[in-house]
Amino acid sequence: MSLEIYLDLFSQPCRSVYIFAQKNNIQFDHKKISLFDGYQYGEEFGKINVLRKLPAIKDGDFCLAESIAIMMYLAEKFHTPDHWYPADLQKRARVNEYLAWQHTAIRIHGSRIIWFNLLIPKVLGVEVPKEKMDNAVENLDASLTLFDWKFLQDKPFIAGDQISLADLVAIVEIMQPLGAGMDVFENRPKLKAWKDRVREEIGAELFDEAHQGILSFQEAVKTLDPKKMEPMKAKILKYFLS
């Protein structure tokens, strides 16, 4: 049975899994899901992932959720090059360190920029308090400063001289605010140089393909149907604005 991967490339974790699988020539059946249509809450998807989140995979009878767990599984099953998730104890620890940190740092703050600036006001029709937006921008800026100072330092990549899962996860998170028109690379030359190295290692064609949707998201938002998001509205507002 073929490997099935359920993805919505608007999502940062989905983009990291997609890029990793494509870059490593892992054959899979790409199940394209729209989070904004609420497919993840349906009975069919519930059989794949009871957590109701993307990405998710189905490998024969084996189902797995959470992007980090998925990429580690794929790395071991398909014996991808060591630099992605190094066998060396200390290099692997550096990768794990970033992967453990990112959930409540760059990822969450970048997502809030998108929701506060575009989705909540323009699709859900709810005004976002200015202090909420200001806090999101301030927190993202602080996380990017920490990323530069703590994780990247003066190295080409997070774990040293080669790209790893940490860089892949980081780049998709840091690219997310661009979808709301916020250029996070402006006035951050070291961060931009790192981004260019990651893009080169991944391959410009694959990198640009994976990020095409988020980079054109301001236009895509205009086509979203608010009625499809209505069942999720209360949950979304509680999560982001409470």
The separation between CA 97 and the C-alpha centre of its own chain, rounded to angstroms, equals 17
CATH number, domain of 25, equals: 3.40.30.10
Q: Is 240 left (phi over 0), alpha (psi -120 to 50) or beta?
A: alpha
Query: Of 210, 208, 179, 200, which is closest to residue 18 (Cα–Cα)?
Result: 210
Q: What percent of the chain has pLDDT over 70?
A: 100
SS3 of 234, please?
Answer: helix
Q: Which helix (H) or strand (E) holds 235?
A: helix 226-241
- Beta partners for residue 62, in sequence order: 59
pLDDT at residue number 242: 83
Q: Can you tell me the distance from the alpha carbon of 213 to that of 63, in angstroms, rounded to the nearest whole number?
A: 27
Length of the chain counted residue by residue: 242
Residue located via tokens 């550096």? 94
Provide the 10 A C-beta neighbour count for residue 98: 22
Which of 80, 111, 142 marks a domain boundary? Answer: 80
DSSP string for residues in 84-151: GS-SSHHHHHHHHHHHHHGGGTHHHHHHHHHIIIIIIIIIS--PPPHHHHHHHHHHHHHHHHHIIIII
Q: List the structure tokens of 77.
A: 């099953």
89-140 pLDDT, tens per residue?
Answer: 999 999 999 999 998 899 999 999 999 999 999 999 999 999 999 999 999 9
Are 165 and 193 part of one and the same domain? yes
pLDDT above 80: residue 186: yes
Are 99 and 151 part of one and the same domain? yes
Q: What does the longest C-alpha to C-alpha distance in the chain come to?
A: 50
Q: Which domain holds residue 8?
A: 3-80
Are 42 and 132 part of one and the same domain? no
Question: Residues 6 or more apart from 124 whose CB is under 8 A from it?
Answer: 226, 229, 233, 236, 237
pLDDT at residue number 177: 95
pLDDT at residue number 1: 54
pLDDT average, residue stretch 61-76 = 96
Q: Can you tell me the distance from the alpha carbon of 106 to that of 103, in angstroms, rounded to the nearest whole number?
A: 7
pLDDT above 90: residue 232: no
Are 137 and 200 part of one and the same domain? yes
Total domains present in the chain: 2
Are 68 and 111 part of one and the same domain? no
Query: Of 138, 154, 144, which is closest to residue 175 (Cα–Cα)?
Result: 144
Are 67 and 130 part of one and the same domain? no
Q: Can you tell me the distance from the alpha carbon of 45 to that of 65, in angstroms, rounded to the nearest whole number?
A: 12
Are 122 and 232 part of one and the same domain? yes
What global pTM score does this model have?
Answer: 0.95
